[in-house]
A and B are shown apart, each in its own frame.
Chain A
Amino acid sequence: MADSFSLMQEQYAKILQTYLQEKNEIGLYHAQQFSKKVLENQISPEEVVSLHLDAIEKFFPDLPQGARDSFEFLLEVMMGYGMAYREHQSLRDKQKELETEINVAANMQQTFLPKEIPSVDSLDVGVISVPASKMSGDYYHFVKDENNCIGVAIADIIGKGVPAALCMSMIKYAMDSLPEQRLQPGALLENLNRVVEQNVASNMFITMMYGSYDPRVHHFYYSGAGHEPGFYYNYKTDSFEELYAKGLVLGITRDTTFREYHKKVEPGDFIVLLSDGVTECRTDEGFIEREELTRFIHQYKHLPAQEIVNNVFYQLEKLQGFQLRDDFSLIILRRKV
């Protein structure tokens, strides 16, 4: 509740008078507390000068004219601060408005992501996707077809924040409008590439990795469009290898083709898909090494897939002092024994 100006005037006169009589630190402390009150009540600097003049005119009725005039002068000098102060307030209000808008948009964006991960008996899946700021330029998608094949996509829009998020929503609609029947990863990327090429400004790039897991034969088919390589964990040899798929970034040329790769997945093996926010995690000593990442994953490999990704995220977040510089997405698909 804002105090009226006259009440402030009264208070100021009172604390100033006390200070002039006692000249001690407590008086100055009251002045400091008063300055908070002044800000709370949105009183501008020139008004504070006038408060002061009013008060000392009361205490010193025979204030020399020159001293009085000097306050008029000071008042004029403070006008610039007064104007800057009001602008600051108006900009702050505008910022709040923008923040509210972005919060609404960010909530909307969350609804674009799959609400639940499709489950098949033979697969253990873990996903984590955390935006660096409120909106994300990362996207992931899961789909299960009538043969229980699981399609998984992970995409990264170069850049972050609102522009990347807008682009990401387009990818979501493009994926939704693909033909109903399951496409092979290569054909799917070719389709998406055409949509992106037609609809996205030439300075926006999207990388993507798309894979399809067939639980009937335990094969993983995948293709990539300039996306950060993932990892393949081999249970038998207890080692990681790179999951790389050669292919141009989406949206560069219309008739790009994407090579399809495949892997036979044995029990205990797992596939790691990620966005570059994971590997470009920066610490004071520079980017983390991909080996460091696999070391973290290895450390938690005995846990369920969801707990692995949660723990790896926590460790990397911690390494960066809990400040994400880029959107972070990590997916693990493990064949259960």
Chain B
Amino acid sequence: MSVQSNVEVRTEWGIVSARQAGRNLAKEIGFSSVDQARITTAISELARNIYLYAEKGEIIIEAVEEIHSTGVKHGIKITAKDKGPGIKNIRQVMEDGFTTSGGLGAGLPGVKRLMDEFDIDSVAGEGTEITTIKWNS
């Protein structure tokens, strides 16, 4: 199983490559086609944010696992990193309906709902790092 892929995002091609890398790994882990579509949609949204607001950054895709008493849980972890302008008011962008897209479910709250775990760190003027995980149930 591939350990980690880093995809640079500075054009729309980068978005497509990140999706491809995410889909390949999701398939390998054994996600259903619905979950694959969810994971790639989340990657798309994160990569588009980089492309639109930070100009460049990277998407890191890796397999993760968690050991439970009942067995091993497999998942996929997406990290989106950029050194763009950062987000001044994180609480605001995490609110439904805030995104400039007119709030049709897109944006960061949409990504959070598609995935199982979501974490965001952003410093205005320095950049943003978003980490999100989907577990294969």
Contacts and interface: CB of A to CB of B under 8 A. Distances in A.
A87 B96 contact: yes
B97 A91 contact: yes
B33 interface: yes
Contact size range, B: 10 to 19
B114 interface: yes
Contacts of A79: 37-38, 41
11 contacts: A46-B38, A53-B33, A76-B37, A83-B106, A86-B110, A86-B113, A86-B114, A87-B97, A87-B103, A87-B110, A94-B96
Contact of A47 (B34, B106, B113, B114): B34
Contacts of A75: 33-34, 37
A216 B96 CA distance: 63
A63 interface: no
Nearest to A71: B33
B104 A87 contact: yes
A50 B96 CA distance: 27
B105 interface: yes
B48 to A, nearest CB: 13
B30 to A, nearest CB: 15
A296 interface: no
Contact size range, A: 20 to 34
B32 interface: yes
B37 A90 contact: no
B86 interface: no
A308 B98 CA distance: 50
- Top 7 closest pairs, chain A to chain B, by CB: A83-B105, A84-B105, A87-B105, A83-B110, A50-B34, A79-B41, A86-B113
A85 interface: yes
B109 A90 contact: yes
A296 to B, nearest CB: 44
Given A50-B34, A79-B41, A83-B114, A91 B106 contact: no
A97 interface: no
A10 interface: no
Given A84-B105, A91-B97, A50 B32 contact: yes
A86 B114 CA distance: 9
A83 B113 contact: yes
A79 B34 CA distance: 9
Nearest to A79: B41
A126 B52 CA distance: 64
A82 B103 CA distance: 13
Interface of A: 46-47, 49-50, 53, 72, 75-76, 79-80, 82-88, 90-91, 94
A84 B32 CA distance: 21
Interface in B71-130: 96-97, 103-106, 109-110, 113-114
A18 to B, nearest CB: 25
Contacts of A82: 38, 105
Contacts of B104: 80, 83-84, 87
A72 B97 CA distance: 28
Nearest to A85: B105
A154 B33 CA distance: 65
Contacts of A80: 104-106
A83 B105 CA distance: 5
B125 to A, nearest CB: 30
Contacts of B37: 46, 72, 75-76, 79
A76 B110 CA distance: 15
| Residue of B37, B38, B40, B109 with highest tally of chain A CB at under 10 A | B37
Contacts of B109: 87, 90
| Residue of A53, A72, A76, A85 with highest tally of chain B CB at under 10 A | A76
A90 B109 CA distance: 10
Nearest to B111: A83
Given A50-B32, A50-B33, 6 more contacts: A75-B33, A80-B105, A80-B106, A87-B103, A87-B109, A94-B96
Contacts of B110: 83, 86-87
| Residue of B38, B97, B105 with highest tally of chain A CB at under 10 A | B105
